[in-house]
Amino acid sequence: MLIIMDYNEVMNFALKKGFYFPSCDIYPDKSAGFWEYGPLGVNFKNNFIELWRRELIRRDEILEIDGSQIMSKSVFEASGHITNFADPIIKCKKCNSTFRVDELIAAKTKINMTENESLQKYDELIKENDIHCPKCENEFLKPSRFNMMFCIGIGPENETAYLRPETCQSIFVDFPRLFKIMRGKLPFGVAQIGKSFRNEIAPRQSILRLREFYQAEIEIFCNPNKLNSLTKSSQISNTIIRIHVDNTTKIMSCKEAVNSKTIPNMFIAYYIGLLTEFYAKTGIDMAKTRFRKLSENEKAFYSESSFDFEVKTTVGWLELVACNYRTNYDLIRHANISKENYSIVDYEDKIIPHVFEISMGVDRSLYSILEHSLKNDIGNKRILLSLKPYLSPIYVGVLSLLKKDGLEEKTNQIYSQIKKNFVASLDHSGTIGRRYRRLDEIGTPFIITIDYQTLKDQTVTIRMRDDMHQIRIKISEVESFLTTNAF
RNA sequence: GCGAAGUUAGUCUAGUUGGCAUGACGUCAGCUUCCCAAGCUGAAGAUCACGUGUUCAAAUCACGUACUUCGCACCA
């Protein structure tokens, strides 16, 4: 009987095994929202990224770049982050409580406020309407803006620059160059995986809400006039997707989703189909997932159509991927501010391409996979992490049945044969059952055991993690077994 | 940032009229064991989150700081 485990148990598991843990932990001035991946976590993350490359990047012939994490102020003037990525806030003089000014005014006066008014305007409205701190009824300080970007100073003059709050901006900035040198044709996909930084007011829940986090973003540049004539869309037209609209989750094929206008066009449906196939391969329970169509007021201001890929976990629905049809907002902004030419010719059309974005939160994805894979296997008295073999941090265990009569030496020999091609773990200590359990807990799918028969006929047993069954194969066949069973 | 609760070895935990810390699991070594967390022996591991104060004496009392968890706003 397999029992699922909740957030706290997954968290304890991750800490205990060193998948991830708080950064700067031994110092009292450490800040929340910074976490590190330990040895197992790094392997797991790398395997996840490799799957992303395999199933999205290479499959869809997308180009990958690796941009700067520090970007100049102009980039974020163009992108709108300097004005839009900042919340207008106001602080109470006495109790120091912080509120969103626009929301406070809207609540007290019924005036419909936006977050983009001038600070002066907010200040006037606070004074005119005699608004006081809702908590202690005292006066407010002047309104200010809290920008969620980390601002840094470059060089001796401390020139203002920012840690990127999303990885996609370098893709937009680089687009004209990339399109030319890579002999681009629309649709043209560029991807990037790396760190992004946001100065969250209150980071919470370990790697689910970080100030420094991994994003894997794909930006597809396309011709807006050809959104229903994507030739490769036949690859996914029958893929079953789960779309959440008007508070219900509808299960249908990509083709049906477009025909019923649930998804606006085949172009978006194609990528939602690809993403569905990708996440199915991560081992996430797809019955607990949905693409939620965002309503008008939930969408980012630049997005014409947005779907969030969400996964149900023990802490509720988690947003793993934001899919946004960003139109040509970003490219036009960068074109206008930089004076760079962003228009391209797509057959007879001279256009500034539109952008469809698949913005994936890597850390959250890793957590969701862990939570959906970690089970308490009561009957077998073990913790079982049933990761897909290609995601497992340790791919194969190499164990001696006993440590005597030459078994240890034989085991070491087999281990050194395979350790360069596979992430392997060698262990002689304690009883065999304990060693099996330890590897089950970190998701190792295969375990080679060297026993007395090995010495006689050059065979070993391979134990399968999930059902604990063993097969016996020749030592000479071990490598091909491990290779063919990866996927 | 605000409010509430919490912080004792890698993990969980005992300690509640103030007297330098209990147990378990895990880890390591050895013995045993021809396949699934057994057993035996031994070892390492805690200036009780950090700082200041009260006291002859602080894990224990007071104050402050940090972090964690839960609620509010923001969000991949």
The yes-or-no verdict on residue A114 having pLDDT over 70 is: no
User: Which positions on strand B lie below 7 Å from a protein C-beta?
Assistant: 1-3, 10-12, 27-30, 32-39, 49-50, 65-76
Q: How many Å apart are A205 CA and B2 C1'?
A: 19
* Å between CA of A209 and C1' of B61: 38
CA–CA separation, A303 and A74 (whole Å)? 21
- Give me the interface pTM, i.e. the ipTM: 0.82
- The mean per-residue pLDDT over the stretch A423-438 comes to 92
pLDDT, averaged across chain A: 89
Q: Quick one: how many helices (H) and strands (E) in chain A?
A: 15, 27
Please name the residues in contact with A386: beta carbons below 8 A apart, sequence gap of 6 or more.
A283, A373, A375, A443, A465, A466
Confidence of residue A135 (pLDDT cuts 50, 70, 90): low
CA to C1' distance (Å), from A11 to B47: 29
Which pLDDT value is given to residue A252?
Answer: 95
Nearest of A392, A397, A359, A354 to residue A373 by alpha carbon: A392
Q: Contact A388/A395 with Cβ under 8 angstroms?
A: no
Distance A379 CA to B40 C1' (A): 27
Instruction: Specify the fold of A394-484.
Output: Rossmann fold (3.40.50)
Tokens of A173: 């900035």
Q: Is the pLDDT of residue A94 over 70?
A: no
Q: Which residue is nearest to nucleotide B35 (CA to C1')?
A: A432
Report, as an integer, the average pLDDT of A231-238: 90
Contact A171, A219 (CB under 8 A): yes
Higher pLDDT, A103 or A163: A163
d(CA A245, CA A249): 6
H-assigned helices in A24-183: 39-52, 73-79, 81-84, 101-109, 119-128, 168-181
Whole-number pLDDT of residue A115: 64
- For residues A404-427, give the mean pLDDT: 93
pLDDT bin (cut points 50, 70, 90) of residue A384 is very high
Neighbours of A25 (CB within 10 A): 10
Least confident of A195-204, A231-240, A269-278, A325-334: A195-204
Q: Which nucleotide is nearest to A115 (CA to C1')?
A: B74
Over residues A299-328, the pLDDT tens digits come to: 777 788 899 999 998 888 889 999 999 999
Give the model's confidence band at A221: pLDDT under 50 very low, under 70 low, under 90 confident, else very high.
very high
Burial class (CB in 10 A: 0-12, 13-18, 19+), A342: buried
Parse chain A into domains and list their residue ranges: 2-21+28-69+164-372, 86-147, 394-484
Distance A419 CA to B62 C1' (A): 58
* Domain at A86-147: CATH code: 3.30.40.230
Of the options 3.30.930.10, 3.20.20.70, 3.90.1200.10, 3.40.50.720, the CATH number for the domain spanning A2-21+28-69+164-372:
3.30.930.10
Residue A149 pLDDT more than 70? yes
